């Protein structure tokens, strides 16, 4: 499942293809993903010029000179294919630029989404309104965490997964950041010290930056005709490593809560 780093590297991979380009054609090849494609999508996007690409939480944003923003979410299995040699059955949205580049949004399970709205209204879009600060942005600080977590008895892990606390962090990177910071995932959020909260801000940056850097390096391979944006192999220290040794000499453990696995080291996470 694409997490924030995959969305970030996807946006970075799409940027050189789309930035400043006029879209020669935008075609939907079925009526819906998780929900219907906007009926005016093809008409509004075809002939428009892309003026900016960005990311908010796990959404990618493509702005045009017509005052529209197309917002995509990769869901469980979505990915953009760059200059595919042929269009495949699960390529549900196909974009061609005036330069002859082609992008295909491929999503076999169709949990993704594509929306279109006036750029001026994006900040007020319901999925964005309640979002907390970006984990890599200036608003994600120890002071912010201290303010929103103070007195909370829910676990620090549950709170870091809460999109109102910080936007776009998923299970994998929360497990990794808690491990790097030496904070037990189940610790009540209000009991995590200011020093540890500051350390958590740093480790969230570290694990996300490392994943984005890993994705960025794989982007160099996209000369191949069926290059795909969005997925890359990663090395995790605890995630998916139950029973394996931790660098501290302990052993990685796992527990399940609300259908989600937490991987952690009982020796170095307190
Ligand atoms: Zn350990």
Residue of 152, 251, 260, 267 marked active site:
260
How much is the pLDDT for 76? 87
Q: Is 260 a catalytic residue?
A: yes
Q: Is 187 a catalytic residue?
A: no
| Percent of the chain predicted with pLDDT > 90 | 80
| DSSP state at residue 192 | S
CATH number of 142-264: 1.10.8.50
Q: What is the residue extent of each domain of the chain?
A: 4-129, 142-264
How much is the pLDDT for 229? 57
How much is the pLDDT for 38? 97
Between the CA of 94 and the centroid of ligand 1 the distance, in Å, is 46
How much is the pLDDT for 261? 94
Between the CA of 190 and the centroid of ligand 1 the distance, in Å, is 23
Work out the average pLDDT over 196-221.
Answer: 82
Q: Is 206 a catalytic residue?
A: no
Asked whether residue 246 carries a pLDDT value surpassing 70, the answer given is yes
How much is the pLDDT for 228? 56
Between the CA of 201 and the centroid of ligand 1 the distance, in Å, is 19
CATH architecture of 4-129: Alpha-Beta Barrel (3.20)
Q: By three-state DSSP, how is residue 264 classified? A: strand
Q: pLDDT category, 267, cuts 50, 70, 90?
A: very high
How much is the pLDDT for 226? 43
Mean pLDDT for all residues in the chain:
91
> Which residues touch 52 (CB under 8 Å, ≥6 apart)?
19, 61, 62, 63
Q: Computed over its alpha carbons, how large is the radius of gyration of the chain?
A: 20
Q: Is 58 a catalytic residue?
A: yes
Work out the average pLDDT over 98-126.
Answer: 95
Asked whether residue 68 carries a pLDDT value surpassing 60, the answer given is yes
Classify residue 156 as exposed, middle or buried by CB count within 10 Å of its CB (0-12, 13-18, 19+).
buried
pLDDT, tens only, 23-55: 999 999 999 999 999 999 999 999 999 999 999
Q: If we measure between CA atoms, which residue out of 16, 1, 30 comes closest to residue 82? A: 16
Q: By three-state DSSP, how is residue 106 classified? A: strand
Which uninterrupted H or E stretch holds 181?
Answer: helix 171-181
Between the CA of 248 and the centroid of ligand 1 the distance, in Å, is 4
Residue of 44, 55, 56, 58 marked active site:
58
Between the CA of 264 and the centroid of ligand 1 the distance, in Å, is 8
Which uninterrupted H or E stretch holds 72?
Answer: strand 68-73
Q: Which residues surround ligand 1, an ion (CB under 5 A)?
A: 246, 248, 250, 265, 267-268
Helices of type H across 46-155? 126-129, 142-149
pLDDT, tens only, 210-239: 888 877 555 444 333 345 554 445 678 999
| DSSP state at residue 33 | S
Asked whether residue 190 carries a pLDDT value surpassing 50, the answer given is yes
pTM, two decimal places: 0.90
Q: How far apart are CA 187 and CA 182, in angstroms?
A: 11
In sequence order, what are the beta bridge partners of 227?
none
Tabulate helix, strand, coil % of the chain (nearest 5): 30, 25, 45
Half-sphere exposure of 23 (CA within 13 A, CB side): 25
Q: How far apart are CA 116 and CA 45, in angstroms?
A: 9
- Cβ(34)–Cβ(113) below 8 Å: yes
How much is the pLDDT for 235? 75
Residue of 2, 5, 38, 84 marked active site:
2
Between the CA of 18 and the centroid of ligand 1 the distance, in Å, is 44
Between the CA of 177 and the centroid of ligand 1 the distance, in Å, is 13
Range with the lowest mean pLDDT among 76-90, 121-135, 153-167? 76-90
Between the CA of 178 and the centroid of ligand 1 the distance, in Å, is 11
Asked whether residue 254 carries a pLDDT value surpassing 50, the answer given is yes
Q: How far apart are CA 244 and CA 253, in angstroms?
A: 8
Between the CA of 176 and the centroid of ligand 1 the distance, in Å, is 11
């Amino acid at each position: 499942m694409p997490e924030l780093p995959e969305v970030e590297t996807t946006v970075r991979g799409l940027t050189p293809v789309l930035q400043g380009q006029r879209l020669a054609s935008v075609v939907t090849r079925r009526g819906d993903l998780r929900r219907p494609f906007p009926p005016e999508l093809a008409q509004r996007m075809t002939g428009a010029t892309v003026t900016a690409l960005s990311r908010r939480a796990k959404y990618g944003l493509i702005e045009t000179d017509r005052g529209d923003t197309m917002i995509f979410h990769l869901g469980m299995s979505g990915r953009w294919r760059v200059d595919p040699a042929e269009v495949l059955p699960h390529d549900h949205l196909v974009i061609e630029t005036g330069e002859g580049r082609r992008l295909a949004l491929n999503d076999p399970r169709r949990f993704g989404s594509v929306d279109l709205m006036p750029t001026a209204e994006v900040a007020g879009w319901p999925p964005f309104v309640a979002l907390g600060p970006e984990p890599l942005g200036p608003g994600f600080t120890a002071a912010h965490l201290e303010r929103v977590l103070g007195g909370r008895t829910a676990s620090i892990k549950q709170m870091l997964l809460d999109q109102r606390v910080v936007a776009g962090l998923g299970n994998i990177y929360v497990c990794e950041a808690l491990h790097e910071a030496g904070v037990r995932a189940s610790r009540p959020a209000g009991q995590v010290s200011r020093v540890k909260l500051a350390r958590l801000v740093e480790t969230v940056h570290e694990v996300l930056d490392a994943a984005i850097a890993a994705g960025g390096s794989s982007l160099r391979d996209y000369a191949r005709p069926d290059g795909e944006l969005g997925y890359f192999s990663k090395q995790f220290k605890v995630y998916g490593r139950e029973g394996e040794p931790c660098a501290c000499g302990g052993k990685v453990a796992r527990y399940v809560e609300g259908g989600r696995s937490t991987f952690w080291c009982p020796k170095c996470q307190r």
